[in-house]
């Protein structure tokens, strides 16, 4: 555990839903473009989702600030540090989750079409063997 990882935070629950079935009939280049668009869209939601995952720590920090008013800079350091560390850690996790999310959807898309090709070739082979 390094100096930066001195706090342990609950695992964030980022919202990612599979999209490959919605775009299954696109050509691979078009699907790649949709994947890039979705990645950009999710990246735009990143700040909101990361801060929402640390919301309980933000509330603690805000309550401390409210309670101590002017002196919060000195006496709420621990709460502020926890909140900002949580945001930093979950920011990195969001990037990893997003990368995996896009990869798994592309993988599922490719597997679907590989299975379709395999079924088609088997069907074609059966038809030619009957003749």
pLDDT band with cut points at 50, 70 and 90 for residue 96: very high
What integer pLDDT is reported at residue 72 of this predicted model? 67
State the pLDDT at residue 1: 41
Q: Rank 31-35, 67-71, 78-82, 124-128 by mean pLDDT and report only the highest.
A: 31-35
Q: What tens digit of pLDDT does each residue of 43-87 get? A: 999 999 999 999 999 999 999 988 887 776 678 889 989 999 999
What pTM, to 2 d.p., does this model score?
Answer: 0.77
Task: Characterise 69 by phi-psi region: left (phi > 0), alpha (psi -120 to 50), beta (else).
Answer: left
């Amino acid at each position: 555990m390094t100096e930066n990882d001195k706090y342990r935070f609950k695992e964030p629950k980022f919202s990612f839903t599979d999209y490959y079935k919605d775009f299954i009939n696109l050509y691979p280049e078009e699907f790649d473009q949709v994947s890039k668009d979705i990645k950009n869209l999710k990246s735009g939601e990143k700040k909101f989702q990361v801060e929402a995952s640390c919301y309980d720590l933000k509330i603690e920090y805000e309550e401390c600030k409210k309670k101590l008013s002017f002196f919060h800079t000195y006496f709420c350091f621990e709460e502020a540090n926890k909140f900002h560390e949580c945001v930093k850690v979950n920011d990195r996790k969001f990037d990893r989750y997003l990368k995996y999310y896009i990869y798994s959807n592309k993988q599922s898309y490719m597997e679907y079409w590989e299975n379709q090709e395999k079924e088609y070739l088997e069907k074609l082979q059966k038809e030619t063997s009957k003749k």
